[in-house]
Structure 1
């Protein structure tokens, strides 16, 4: 490493000497020469910064090893027989059963000291390889022992430089763990957080309505620093300030940070490790594959879980994550549905609107909760075949009244499914009962409702004593 840096410095000095020579012998095109020299300077500066990051990463790892050695030394001074090296412990875990979090390691053996351990949040033998993390085993509060810390390449203080445009300083955060493993750890934990520390002077985060600094979450979404983090905005002060900004579970991990130095102050950032503690709560009787996964199951197969009224059978594919498609599939039997869906809504008020869903006053029954009587819209909870029936009474003078099922697919495509036309040529009020029925194959998320259409200047229209019913005939597994 030293030889590389010395070589780089020598190169810089040679370039500088050549540039100076050129200034004295070449025509006085100073601007071009200065720009070329600045380009060389930027390249060398970027090279130095990359070397510094590499060295800082090695320092972090060495510090973890020193902490481990200090712990072993403390045990020896107390006259206790020291535990085996953490590497040995983890080699044993990797050959037998690698635990998923530091909390699980602490529960398995509370005597293990703080240090570097191998864990496998997404499940042993599936998904991504195990990751090397720092486990904080000692804590004043017993409920936070076994905190998992994922290391990254931006833990030390780093200068933001002198660029002036909003967010012009941009640094990605590279973690020593895959995105899948990080996501699994967050889902397994009670609480996760990360801090952004900023030592600053005259380097505003937000100033005159302009965001000069922000950070990106796991999905790349941009987040401004909250308005309470405004100490750096006080340009009249000359001393430095330390700010701390906390990010919790929702958006973790932090993937990139942006700062700016428009008023020639200074700023140094430091991003803490991603820390997760505790174990996500699950009920004693699992209700889903996700509950089983949180409990520690990782073998793909068929399981029994607690349903709304009875035990249900599900197929769990644990080599996927809970938020991935096909992680869980419910299994039904002939003439028995694992997720019963049926409803009946009743309405008794006058309704005189055109081409909007007819609402209903109350639910006679609504098993599965798929019908929203207030809006009059049914949303299919799962893919399958459904039957719908509507009855009502219309009263109008002349013209044509059309009662129709309207279907809106989950892809946003709307179409009319079934129509019932009622025609009257009388100028007196005509009362007509209507009945519309339809059998539809729906995808999960598709919507169905009833609406009226009036043509040929039909007047005095209303619907009374309406009933809208439907149920799931067959669910597709």
Structure 2
């Protein structure tokens, strides 16, 4: 027997004894590997899902950034989602959220396109938030100011802002940029029954006004400066306590365009400016009385319209591509700034008069519509260019002697005689009276002056009159000359 056999035999026995242990260890590692592989597949699937969600979120953020950039420029996006485009097409002629809600009460709150200054004219439509069912403390409000269909114009400063540590009055300043043009904002305010905007201020040792010095204020429409005069009861107390105050701004001062604050005592201050919110519909007469009423009703086409006047239907020319407060928005046809109110007068004397070559004064005013006739100096001033008619009648007398009766009365235009009436009778009895009359139609310019003068009388003659009134002068505008400037 080989001497190496016992050694080989021993090795073989050791290997045989170790095999079960090796097979067991290999089985464990295989199970662990399979578990790791399964975990890897799950993690891979999870990461792929997260990656898709990230891609979707990035696409949404990119789209929102694009819309925000366009809104800041005051223009609507060229491409939007299908839903927004559908809303825009449907609401193209609607001017407020209130009108959208009235047109279809089933619409829910959200972002909508409106065009306050009129569809197809003025500035482009604006993107606003419509609160279709406004609630406060979970209770739906129906009173004015809390009506369904509230319009909110967004701006770039809606989040809470810190005023910092500057100490000079108004040294912190921030412009409030609304996502709508000035014209569209003004139109929305005019169309609504009420509009408000809030400023909330959280203060600690940061007075708005202290010892008569204004440390904070805000600017409204057209940049007017307004102090926080009504909100000073808490913030000017330098007690170290924190206070929260809130102010509501209404009316023609809106919108808030800039705020100014200061921190003179090294306290703290944070403010929030709310959106401009408008609700309801401005009151309009059932029958329009002006272009303003027609515009509020929704008319946008320039042209002639009939409106209710004080005594009759009247005609106006409305230029709806202008705002109601802009020159040229409305022209009355027949009245005011195109054809104005009627002008006519009728005056009398009640005393005798015999002064020659001076204007004849009058004492009794029967009618003087337009106030163009000045009785004291007997002068009529034409208020507008046009065609005018005048009539004069008087009673001349020779006096207490039996002499011929003669008299001449002239009509003067700006010191130039343009007409004359003459009466002449031979020798007559004492106190013989003779009438004198004439009429004239003249084309006058605005500011032209008309009066009467006695050109000649007998030695003892005069224009006779008493309380009965025998001398009459009247005139009126037949037709006004119109210069069309539409």
Instruction: Give TM class, smaller chain.
Output: 0.5 to 0.7
1:270 to 272, 278, 281: 272
Within 2, Cα distance between the matches of 1:213 and 1:152? 21
Question: Which residue number in structure 2 is paired with residue 474 of structure 1?
Answer: 480
Residue aligning to 2:109 = 114
Alignment of structure 1 residues 50-129 onto 2, 5 Å? 87-93=84-90, 97-129=92-124
**Is 1:138 aligned to 2:133, yes or no?**
yes
Distance in 1 (alpha carbons) for counterparts of 2:213 and 2:254: 25
- The one-character-per-residue Cα deviations of 1:66-125 (angstroms, maximum 9, x if unpaired) are xxxxxxxxxxxxxxxxxx98525413325xx43100000000011111110000001111
Match of 2:236 in 1: 233
User: Matched residues in 2 for 1:93 and 1:85: separation?
Assistant: 12
Describe the shift of the 1:474–1:89 C-alpha distance in structure 2 as closer, same or farther (beyond 3 A). same
Query: How big is the shift at 1:329?
Result: 1.8
Could you tell me how far 1:302 is from its partner in structure 2? 1.5
Deviation at 1:229, TM superposition (A): 2.6
Counterpart position of 1:65: none
Aligned-residue offset at 1:332: 3.6
- Aligned partners of 1:379, 1:111: CA distance in 2, in Å? 63
Q: Distance in 2 between matches of 1:119 and 1:362?
A: 61
Indicate conservation of the 8 Å contact 2:346/2:475, yes or no.
no
How far the C-alpha of 1:345 sits from its partner, in A, is: 11
Q: Distance in 1 between matches of 2:151 and 2:371?
A: 39
Asked if residue 185 in structure 1 is aligned to residue 191 in structure 2, the reply is: no
Q: Report the RMSD for the aligned CA atoms in angstroms.
A: 4.4
CA separation of 1:297 and 1:203: change in aligned 2, threshold 3 A: same
TM-score, reference length from structure 2: 0.56
SS at match of 1:250: helix
Against the structure 1 CA distance between its residues 362 and 127, is the aligned structure 2 distance closer, same or farther, given a 3 Å change threshold? Answer: farther
Distance of aligned partners of 1:298 and 1:170 in 2 relative to their CA distance in 1, 3 Å threshold? same
Partner of 1:253: 255
Q: How far did 1:206 drift?
A: 0.9
Q: Distance in 1 between matches of 2:198 and 2:344?
A: 49
Q: 1:213 to 1:368 in 2, by over 3 A?
A: farther
124 and 271 in structure 1: CA distance in 2 versus 1, 3 angstrom threshold: same
Q: Kindly tell me: are residues 154 and 469 of structure 1, through their superposed partners in 2, closer, same or farther at Cα, counting changes over 3 Å?
A: farther
2:168 corresponds to: 165
Aligned 8 A contact 2:206 2:268 in 1? yes
Question: Per the alignment, do residues 246 and 278 of structure 1 end up closer, same or farther by CA in structure 2, a change over 3 Å counting?
Answer: same
Note if contact 1:86-1:116 (Cα within 8 Å) is conserved in structure 2: no
**Inter-CA distance 157–439: structure 2 relative to 1 (3 Å threshold):** same
Q: 1:274 to 1:362 in 2, by over 3 A?
A: farther
Q: 1:470 and 1:203 mapped to 2: Cα distance?
A: 71
Q: Give 1:316's aligned residue.
A: 318
- Is contact 1:312-1:338 (8 Å) kept? no
Equivalent residues in 2 for 1:430-469, closer than 5 Å: 441=446
Matched, 1:219 2:222: yes
Aligned partners of 1:339 and 1:368 also within 8 Å: no
> Once the 2 structures are TM-superposed, how far is the Cα of residue 344 of structure 1 from its aligned partner?
6.5
Residues 1:470 and 1:155: Cα distance change in structure 2 (over 3 Å): farther
Q: Call closer, same or farther: CA 1:388–1:185 in 2, change over 3 Å.
A: farther
Instruction: Measure the CA separation in 2 of the matches of 1:244 and 1:379.
Output: 58
Give me the TM-score of the superposition, normalised by structure 1. 0.57
Q: Which residue in the other structure is 1:209 paired with? A: 212
Structure 1: how far apart are the matches of 2:251 and 2:367?
38
> For residues 468 and 141 of structure 1, what CA distance do their matches in structure 2 show?
66
CA 1:200–1:370 in structure 2 vs 1: closer, same or farther (change >3 Å)? farther
The question of whether the paired residues in 2 share the 8 Å contact of 1:205 and 1:230 is answered with no
Shift of 1:256: 0.6
Specify the alignment match of 1:27 in structure 2: none
Q: Quote how far apart the aligned CAs of 1:383 are.
A: 6.5
Number of residue equivalences: 314
Secondary structure, aligned partner of 1:293: helix
Q: Is 1:296 matched with 2:298?
A: yes
Q: Which runs of 5+ in 2 are unaligned?
A: 1-60, 69-80, 135-139, 348-362, 391-413, 416-442, 450-468
Q: 1:307 matched to which residue of 2?
A: 309
Q: Which residue does 2:330 correspond to in 1?
A: 328
Decide which of 145, 149, 154 is 2:152's aligned counterpart. 149
How far residue 468 of structure 1 moved from its aligned partner, in angstroms, is 12
Secondary structure (helix, strand or coil) at the match of 1:441 reads coil
Change (3 A) 1:292 1:272: same
Where has structure 1 moved over 4 Å in runs of 4 or more? 343-346, 361-371, 382-389, 467-473
User: In structure 2, how many angstroms separate the alpha carbons of the residues matched to 1:370 and 1:299?
Assistant: 37
Cα 1:284–1:177 change in 2 (3 A) is same
